[in-house]
Every structure is written in structure tokens, then in C-alpha cells.
Structure 1
């Protein structure tokens, strides 16, 4: 599940997406405790900690926190507008795409103008007012069906890394596979576009080269729910590459992507007295100690 770091405004962000995106709702699923918080967290006592957003059934988690991190375009959300979703077909899908675009552009930043491209009749890339990047795309009903939201990883820098990352992630997580891979004409430039599936969930990746002034950030991380401590240990061992970035189940891999490796019953564990305080002292989460 992708997690978006929000600057104390997760409830506002969830309400915005609920109002703008089709078939979308937002629910506060975890609150900060009133005791045991660190100094920089005390203003959040009793407030929302986690807001879960469902976009046509796709789950995005909003973390209510401080100003430490912001999302970057290195991870964006491809929002596929399928004409089959709407009673009015393509005309309604176009209309809804344009209305979402206008809402995201308001206070946001256009990265690629909304218009017709060789790969889509209607496409645009925009960073919304909260710093989250979206790629709006009118899909072809005759093509292979995809979920309404697909996270895309953009690898920047002088060395192509997308294929290495895809191989690592699909080899690490069960029931994963690699789909279409479209290389750049210059093979050294890596992948122009690729699709892969992690445990039943679609992702996309591409190599962006050096023409970017951003890379991955904890502002948008990927959360993996693990069945037991053995699975947490296995994933942690492979993904841990930056020890100084490890805290409360967060880990940064060799490509700079941030992951949260957590027990699948995290909500239940956090209900234990003092569990939140104990979690703050951990790097890798130890279920027996929560």
C-alpha cells in the first residue's frame, strides 16, 4: 500500500480526494495516543494518525505527521479513466478527467499538459496542491484492463536502475511477475516504460536519466503487511541499505525507495498499552515486543 506523508493535514487531504476523485472515500483508521509521544509529536495528541483513502477500491494511506518529508515525482499515481467505468462512456470519462485535472491544477503544478499523446487520447501529469503527483490517462477499453490507480516509480540519475529494481522486488515478494517492458532506443538509458505485479498489485517503472532534480523520498513510501516476524526479518534483510534511515519499521532500499515493513495486524498491536512508545524506540519492528 502506498503511504503519503502529510504535513499535519491528512484529514484535509483525504477530504479533498474524496471530493475530486470518482468513487472515493476517506476514513480515519488510527489516531495518535494522548500519552507517550515524542516532543515533536505532542501537538498531534488525540488527532488522526492514519487516514485511509479508497479510490474505486484502490487503497492509499495518508500519514498525518510534520514537515519532515514531502512526496516527489519519483513516485506518482497513474489514474486510469476507463470509459467502461461511466454510463456516458468516453464522453463522460473525458469530462471527468478534465474536471479532476482542473481541481489538481488549482494550487498545483503542471508537469505535462493535458492533451492527446501517441500513447493516449487524453493524458496529463500534474502535481497537486499537496505535492502528490498524478498522471491522468484516458484508457482504451479494448486494451488489457488495469486497476484505477497504478503507482509509478521513476528512477533518476546517470545509471539505469529500473530493471534491477523490478527484478529485486518481484523476486522478493510472493506471487509477483513482470509484464510489458519497453526499453529506450539507447539500451544504456534503460527502460522507457515497464509494468510489474507485486503480490497481485500492479506497478509501473521507468528510467528518467539525469534531467531531474529529484529522487525518491520517505514522503511517499510503500507499506508491506507481513504475516509474521519471519517475513518481516526476510524482507528487512534484503531491503535494508541505509541504516541511518531506519526507524519504526521504515527501511530504505539500495535504490532510495522507502518501505514500511509492518505486521498485518498493526492496528491491533498498536492498541496494546504503551505499544506506540515501544514502537518509537525500534528500527525493525519486533512483534513480540509491541
Structure 2
């Protein structure tokens, strides 16, 4: 069996190209890789984006303008592992603008896509016998605060 790749395929009503352009503007080394447009046969308006391929941090994604039949929801999210608080702050603000914020670093952007903007070191902080204190701290957060997570881990060790 030969499998080339597994790629998240995101369904939008009419916003696929706008969403993909927005996402690639926020991440270094991100790019639009291709845009296929509807022709005379439709079902979308001729010349409008049908499928937009893009990459974020080496991860291929595809956005489809498929119409109003299906909507993105929280059952699927993109996890962004950040090593610096500045990246968490920037992405949290940009992606959440016009969307909604939730607990533990989750947000929904203005296009309906759910994101987890989190600390890349979280698995290390929550592993071991002191992980409960870190989890309790994270459960009380909306936007992730790396220093507060580290402080929770340190406080649990004293």
C-alpha cells in the first residue's frame, strides 16, 4: 500500500480563499500552494475559488468553498505548539479577532475554524506527579500563560 499523505480538508461556505490568505499571513514559512477556480459548470460562481491549497509550518491543508451544507465546529481543531509567550499572544489576538475565545487556549476564528494556541512544553509540565497542579492552572486560563504554568509546576514541587 502506498499512501502519499494525510491532509486536513476544511469546508467553508464561500470564505476558503480569504481564510487561507489570512492564515498564511500569520505564520512564518506559510504559503498558498494552489488555487483552483470554478468554471462554467459551477456550482460556485465562475472564477471564484473552489479549492485552495496552503501550507503552515510544513503542514499541508486544503480549503474548499463547498457551500452552506456543512460548517466547521469544535470537533476538529488545529493545534499550534508555541515555544514563546509572544507567539501565543500574537496568534491568540489575531486568530480570535471576530471569533470567540474558550478555555485552555482554544478559540474559534471568524471563519469558524477552531484552534488550540498552546505551549509546546505543556506535555513535559503535566507529566509526572506534579502535573495536576499544572492542569488545574491551565483549566483556569483562557489564553495560555507559559510563566503561570511553569510557576504552577514549581509551586507543586516545593
- Determine the C-alpha separation between the residues in 2 that align with 1:152 and 1:169: 14
Shift of 1:188: 6.5
The answer as to 2:126 corresponding to 1:270 is yes
TM superposition score normalised by structure 1 = 0.46
**Corresponding residue SS for 1:149:** coil
Aligned counterpart, 1:225: 81
Question: Which of these residues, 13, 19, 24, is aligned with residue 170 of structure 1?
Answer: 24
List runs of 5+ in structure 1 lacking aligned partners: 1-21, 23-80, 83-146
Q: Residues 247 and 188 of structure 1: is their aligned pair in 2 closer, same or farther, counting only changes over 3 Å?
A: farther
Aligned counterpart, 1:253: 109
Q: Tell me if the contact between 2:99 and 2:111 (Cα under 8 Å) persists in the aligned partners.
A: no
Shift of 1:227: 1.5
What's the RMSD between the two structures over aligned residues?
A: 1.8
Shift of 1:187: 4.1
Q: Tell me if the contact between 1:189 and 1:209 (Cα under 8 Å) persists in the aligned partners.
A: no
Aligned counterpart, 2:33: 179
- Determine the C-alpha separation between the residues in 2 that align with 1:222 and 1:193: 19
- Determine the C-alpha separation between the residues in 1 that align with 2:46 and 2:78: 28
- Determine the C-alpha separation between the residues in 2 that align with 1:242 and 1:180: 26
Shift of 1:193: 1.7
Q: How many residues align?
A: 141
Question: Which of these residues, 59, 78, 86, is aligned with residue 201 of structure 1?
Answer: 59
Name which structure has the greater RCO, CA cutoff 8 Å, separation 6+: 2
Larger radius of gyration: 1
